[in-house]
Amino acid sequence: NRRSRGRPMKQRLLVVANRLPVSAVRRGEDSWYLEVSAGGLVSALLGVKDVDARWIGWAGVNVPDEVGQRALTKALAEKRCIPVFLDEEIAHQYYNGYCNNILWPLFHYLGLPQEDRLATTRSFQSQFDAYKRANKMFADVVNMHYQEGDVVWCHDYHLMFLPKCLKEYNSKMKVGWFLHTPFPSSEIHRTLPSRSELLRSVLAADIVGFHTYDYARHFVSACTRILGLEGTPEGVEDQGMLTRVAAFPIGIDSDRFKRALELPAVKEHINELTHRFAGRKVMLGVDRLDMIKGIPQKILAFEKFLEENPSWRDKVVLLQIAVPTRTDVPEYQKLTSQVHEIVGRINGRFGTLTAVPIHHLFLPLSREWTVGSFATDGRPLELPLLPLLLSAAFAAVATAVRSFRHCCCCCPQLSLLSPLLSATSIATATADRSLDFHALCALYAVTDVALVTSLRDGMNLVSYEFVACQGSKKGVLILSEFAGAAQSLGAGALLVNPWNITEVAASIGYALNMSPDEREKRHRHNYAHVTTHTAQDWAETFVSELNDTVVEAQLRTRQ
């Protein structure tokens, strides 16, 4: 049990992550507009209170000129953020290349890129070099802002080289590293050409944390099998020095969701949604549009359920929120088209004049695109009757356009005829093109069944957020056994193998027909977990253990 030991967090905490929790949009030579970004790490750390934390990270934009850099640094300082500036080429090789093309798929068991091996090896090396250079740039900024007594908490696979760089600057710096993705089996990790260098660098940290014991175990196995080091119950030992390795399951700020549900505007939104979907059960998926989230598998399972259960066809609706991500990467573009195509086909197949089975809210890639769905200030346009009429029209039109093998909601020309409109009108979007937080809470609250079908997922906060918003409804969570959350919410959720479409379809049926007693029992279990294992506990425990670990390490050195 790794609960906080009640130690007040007096130190300054330097949180170092690839991205800052804000996105910067340039408005002029020396003027910047800042927006909070969506994402798991951001959500978790937003829930951490009472820490004197500063964020250090890449602002996500190329700012070649000094005037722009100075202005951005100043604007970010007000949000206690410190930018790392990466030039375009390094950012591309480091972020799109090594992080997202190599490490992300590998850590989610999707393997290394399959292109021509020699070409891959060559580009692999240049991407790895850029990765190391970028990590060194992060280290320079941390070092510049570090004060004695600070705690440095490095996050995620983007920064595996950082602990080593920091310790080279200052061996007394307290450095922790936490991985938000799974750490794969050592048999997968050993395929990585830079496997040893990365492991050694991470081991330079005082403590290394993962979401689950399995990931921690995989990491220790990788160190013993690949580096020949000794694994102990506490971590990994190298020449008498111990690096603590442990599980620190992340949580959410459940109170933030509870408070949101009490707001009059959110209550009103819940009433509207309840009215809109009266007579139908609501199923919900909320995912970044990423291959690890298993969105096509989820939608195909829903199709199978409709196929096998005709009586449910006009009694259930699936709302799938998909936030575009890494949109310049071809695999992600392919996934987007694939999802749109499947949604279009299913809506064409099962839609009627009055209803479509899937509302796919694909949040648009460009502002121009949003004309007709959102006002430019982010408020939704008033489209009271239009969406319903268009939804109905869509079913008929979709059948006609099916032969084009496109979903209407991905084609700007046809978007006015798409169910997207009815979906967008049920929620507002923030300027960073994700759903407004309050709209998201309302959606969670009206949901009868949430569907999380990740093929692999470090934890999956969406499952936690859904549970937190289900105080009165006590809806059912269908959860992939390959999400870290399966280890904490497994007793309350219906666990599924997302690759087994038949099993997922059967679970949908089971969830929709579940007795109120069973729903209540399952919900109670999950709710107790989500409300007592919060983001704040997670951060406090990690930092507290980091402090203790450093003391232990120093004692060991003295002995």
C-alpha to C-alpha distances, 56 to 22, 45, 256, 318, nearest whole angstrom: 11, 13, 24, 39
Of 157-216, binders to ligand GDG (CB under 6 A) are 180-181
Q: Which residues contact 263 (CB under 8 A, 6 or more apart)?
A: 438
Contacting residue, 165, 282, 451, 459, with ligand GDG by CB under 6 A: 459
Interface segment toward ligand GDG; rule CB under 6 A; list 58-66, 167-175, 383-391, 457-465: 457-465
In the numeric block, which tokens belong to residue 531?
């409300």
Contacting residue, 44, 134, 202, 301, with ligand GDG by CB under 6 A: 44
**457: which DSSP letter?**
B
Contacting residue, 18, 43, 347, 453, with ligand GDG by CB under 6 A: 43
Q: Name the E strands within 251-315.
A: 281-288
Q: Name the E strands within 108-266.
A: 151-155, 174-178, 207-210, 230-232, 235-238, 241-247
387 near 420, Cβ under 8 Å?
no
Of 429-448, binders to ligand GDG (CB under 6 A) are 434-435, 437, 440
CB-wise, 261 or 355, nearer to ligand GDG? 261
462 in contact with ligand GDG (CB under 6 A): yes
**What is the nearest approach in angstroms of ligand GDG to the Cβ of residue 485?**
7
260 in contact with ligand GDG (CB under 6 A): no
Of 285-304, binders to ligand GDG (CB under 6 A) are 286, 288
Of 373-432, binders to ligand GDG (CB under 6 A) are none
396 near 420, Cβ under 8 Å?
no
C-alpha to C-alpha distances, 221 to 187, 192, 231, nearest whole angstrom: 9, 15, 7
Backbone φ, ψ for residue 245 (5° rounding)? -125, 125
Q: Rounded distance, CA 307 to CA 23, Å?
A: 43
C-alpha to C-alpha distances, 7 to 10, 534, 537, nearest whole angstrom: 9, 17, 12
Strands 235-238 and 241-247, by their bridges, are antiparallel
154 in contact with ligand GDG (CB under 6 A): no
**What is the nearest approach in angstroms of ligand GDG to the Cβ of residue 559?**
36
| Identity of the amino acid at 252 | I
**What is the nearest approach in angstroms of ligand GDG to the Cβ of residue 42?**
7
Of 65-94, binders to ligand GDG (CB under 6 A) are none
* Residue 523 CB neighbours (<10 A): 20
530 in contact with ligand GDG (CB under 6 A): no
Contacting residue, 220, 289, 321, 446, with ligand GDG by CB under 6 A: 321
In the numeric block, which tokens belong to residue 486?
């399966």
CB-wise, 408 or 462, nearer to ligand GDG? 462
**What is the nearest approach in angstroms of ligand GDG to the Cβ of residue 30?**
30
Interface segment toward ligand GDG; rule CB under 6 A; list 35-43, 162-170, 253-261, 391-399: 35-43
**How many residues line the site for ligand GDG (CB under 6 A)?**
24
15 in contact with ligand GDG (CB under 6 A): no
Contacting residue, 206, 253, 448, 465, with ligand GDG by CB under 6 A: 465
Q: Residue number with the shortest CB distance to ligand GDG?
A: 40
Strands 151-155 and 12-19, by their bridges, are parallel
Nearest to 449 by CA among 261, 316, 299, 269: 316
320 in contact with ligand GDG (CB under 6 A): no
CB-wise, 159 or 229, nearer to ligand GDG? 159
40 in contact with ligand GDG (CB under 6 A): yes
Classified as helix, coil or strand, 33 is strand
Interface segment toward ligand GDG; rule CB under 6 A; list 37-45, 92-100, 398-406, 548-556: 37-45
23 in contact with ligand GDG (CB under 6 A): no
| Identity of the amino acid at 25 | V
Helices (H) and strands (E) counted in the chain, each on its own, are: 22, 17
Q: Rounded distance, CA 16 to CA 470, Å?
A: 33
253 in contact with ligand GDG (CB under 6 A): no
Interface segment toward ligand GDG; rule CB under 6 A; list 41-49, 162-170, 198-206, 403-411: 41-49
Maximum CA extent, the chain: 78
**What is the nearest approach in angstroms of ligand GDG to the Cβ of residue 166?**
21
- Point out which residues bind ligand GDG (CB under 6 A): 38-41, 43-44, 180-181, 250, 286, 288, 321, 323, 434-435, 437, 440, 457-462, 465
